Each structure stands twice: as structure tokens, then as C-alpha cells.
Structure 1
Amino acid sequence: MEEREFTKLIYVSQRPFWHFLIAFPLYYFTISMVFKAVELFSSGKVIEALKFLLAIFFMFVCAAGLTFTKKVYTNAKLKTVRFNFTLFKIPLCRDSVFKNIQYVSVYKNYSDRDFEIYIWLSETQKKSISVHLDLQSAFDYALKIANGLEVDLLDATEKGNFKWVEKEMK
């Protein structure tokens, strides 16, 4: 109970409208195909019904990927962060919780040319929590987490030139 008193929502994923435009027909066809699969099972055409179930699964995963919501909660007092993934308010998995966070860093992955955000649990233990294609979105997200946890942010985007980022506390 004490943990919830200090938990603060710092991030909610914002989906562009076109994601929903693409997902709507996928959900519609998924539902239509469920009825067809039931009809095929009831008529004894099991192999065809299983093919439909496989197509339903892939179509649903594509639609869910376009419409799921990610929420990030932080607790500055306990230095914990919680990641929550839902699909239309239905939890997709158990919340990921990381405790005793020391600091947050943004790292440039030169092999993939993207930017990763790490949370550091100790001097040697880190967890990758997000990957971004551009530097600005990576820093915006990392700064929200660092501010929510009231920890430092490390800029590790240049090899051998790591520096602490000055941030404004709100």
C-alpha cells in the first residue's frame, strides 16, 4: 500500500490515428474469421479450421501491435519503475518492475544505428528498457524516467565521451 502512495504515471504511449485505421480492418477480419473457423470445425474440416486459426493468430498479433498501450509508473522514494502493457484496458502481461535504480543512460548502438535506454540497478547490472530510432525521442523518454525517479541521466551516445545530463526537476 505504501508503494502506491508515491507512484506517479510519467508516460503513456500515444498512438497515431493511422494505427487505428489500419488495425480496425484487421480486428474486423479477425472476428469474421473466428466465425468461419467455428463453422469449419463444426462441419468436420479440422485442417482448414486450423489454418484459419493460424491466420487469426497472426492477424490479431498485428492489430494488437498497432493498438496496445504502454504506461510507465515511477516511485522516486523507493527508486522503482513499473512498465504496464494493456490492450483496450486488458493487461497483456505481468507488469515489469525494476527496483533500486541508480541512474538512467542513453546509449548509441553503433551496430544497429539506434539508441537504447538503460536503467542501471548497480555499477555492473543494467537492463535495456527501450530502443529508439532517433536521439531526441530517446532523450525525451529517458528524461521522463530520470525525472520521475529523481535520478541522474547519463549521455553515452559518443564512444569514450560519457557525460551527465543537466536536467530540470519539476
Structure 2
Amino acid sequence: MKSKTIISESPRPIWQMPIAALFFTMATFILLFALYDIQLSEKGFILFLHRLEPCIISVSFGIGFTLTKSIHIDIENSRFRPTYHIGPVKIGSWQTIKNYQYVSVFHQPTVDGNYVFEVNLWYDNNKHFELYEEDNYKEAFLIGFELSEQLNIDLLDATEPNNFKWVNKEEWKAKIASGVIN
């Protein structure tokens, strides 16, 4: 059993990096212009704040093109850390989990009518932590299965509304070993 597990989103496509760099560069120039032309008066301060608006918008778009999420799970010490990456900057803190109960995989409808599959870790009777989101059922289910194996807890297949079922993990081990997963 691994003592530390990392569940991570796919890296951003390479074409998004130059776009993010462009937005961050625009934000830098806007900020420098706002600071260069600053006036020490109430009117000057209000003008400075108005000039910061496009800077904040540019930074927001830049973050949107670079943000990724990963979950670090420390099984030995019974804790997890959701981490958000914006380029080289990582933001996140450790949280303790007590009483692991089960892992669930379910589908969530999106605004455009498609579905995204979510993997949740349930603990302390009714608390859950969202670990992973994927539009591919097989990938989401394999992540949930692997985590349930590492934690030695049950796996719930909740992908069909009102038809939740506990997964027979021995059958899944056989399917994985044979390479036939549907």
C-alpha cells in the first residue's frame, strides 16, 4: 500500500500557456502604467482604482488558463491537501480525515447537458471530499477503485440515478487483470 497518493488533473494544453503569459504581461503593463501615473489625492486614488480593473480582469483570465488542481493524500497520517497550481505557485493546506467510510463515483449533469463523473471520499458519517472530476467514466472509476483499494474501504457506483450499488472489488480486480474494462 502506498502511504502517499496524488490525484491530479491533466496538465493544461501547451497552447494555453502563451495565452496565459499574454494576459499576465498585459496585467503587468497596466499595473506599471497605473503606478507610474499615480496622483496623491482622492481623485487620483479613484483613478488608480479604475485603472486596476483591467489589470484584475487580465490576471483572472491568466489564472483561468493556468489553474490546475491536485489532491495529496497522506494515508499514514490520515490527512489530505487540496492544492491549486497557478504556474509554479502552489496553494493548499493539510486537513485531517478521520473514519474513512467509502469512495463513491457518480455523474453530475453539466450546464450543456453532458455529464461529468466525480469521485468523492466519504468520511465521518456524512462528510465528503471531492477528489476528482473527469468526463470519462472509465478513468474516474479507476481512480475511485485505486483509492478504495489503498484505503481498504468500499466503493459505491452511483452513476445511475436511484440505482446505487456497491462494487464487487474482486470482480473489478479480475477485469483489470484481464484488461477488459467497460
Q: Would you call these one fold, judging by a TM-score over 0.5? A: yes
Q: Decide whether the 8 Å contact of 2:5 with 2:74 is kept in 1.
A: no
Tell me if 1:95 matches 2:107: no
% identity of equivalent residues: 21
Which amino acid is 1:31 matched to? T
- Over 3 Å counting, the alpha-carbon distance change for 1:26 and 1:83 in structure 2 is same
How many Å separate the matches in 1 of 2:15 and 2:149?
A: 31
Query: Following TM superposition, by how much is the alpha carbon of 1:63 offset from its aligned partner in structure 2, in angstroms?
Result: 1.0
**Runs of 5+ in structure 1 lacking a partner?**
1-5
Give the counterpart of 2:167 among 151, 164, 168.
Answer: 164
Q: Decide whether the 8 Å contact of 1:80 with 1:149 is kept in 2.
A: no
Q: Decide whether the 8 Å contact of 1:74 with 1:145 is kept in 2.
A: no
Q: 1:128 is matched with which residue?
A: 130
Give the counterpart of 1:39 among 36, 41, 48.
Answer: 36
Query: Following TM superposition, by how much is the alpha carbon of 1:78 offset from its aligned partner in structure 2, in angstroms?
Result: 4.0
Give the counterpart of 1:16 among 13, 17, 25.
Answer: 13
- Over 3 Å counting, the alpha-carbon distance change for 1:65 and 1:111 in structure 2 is closer
Secondary structure of 2:37's partner? helix
Alignment of 1:72-151 (within 5 A): 72-92=71-91, 94-95=92-93, 97-100=95-98, 101-110=100-109, 113-151=115-153
Q: 1:3 is matched with which residue?
A: none
Secondary structure of 1:105's partner? strand
Q: Deviations over 1:69-122 (max 9, x none)?
A: 433222233443322223333333x42525132221111235763322221003
**Runs of 5+ in structure 2 lacking a partner?**
177-182
TM-score by length of 2: 0.70
Which amino acid is 1:122 matched to? D
Secondary structure of 2:126's partner? coil
Which amino acid is 1:156 matched to? A
Which amino acid is 2:121 matched to? I
How many Å separate the matches in 2 of 1:164 and 1:69?
A: 30
Query: Following TM superposition, by how much is the alpha carbon of 1:146 offset from its aligned partner in structure 2, in angstroms?
Result: 3.5
Structure with the greater alpha carbon radius of gyration: 2
Q: 2:179 is matched with which residue?
A: none
- Over 3 Å counting, the alpha-carbon distance change for 1:144 and 1:61 in structure 2 is farther
Q: Decide whether the 8 Å contact of 1:10 with 1:145 is kept in 2.
A: no
Pairs aligned (count): 163
How many Å separate the matches in 2 of 1:62 and 1:7?
A: 37
How many Å separate the matches in 2 of 1:74 and 1:133?
A: 22
Question: What is the RMSD of the two structures over their aligned residues, measured on CA atoms?
Answer: 3.0
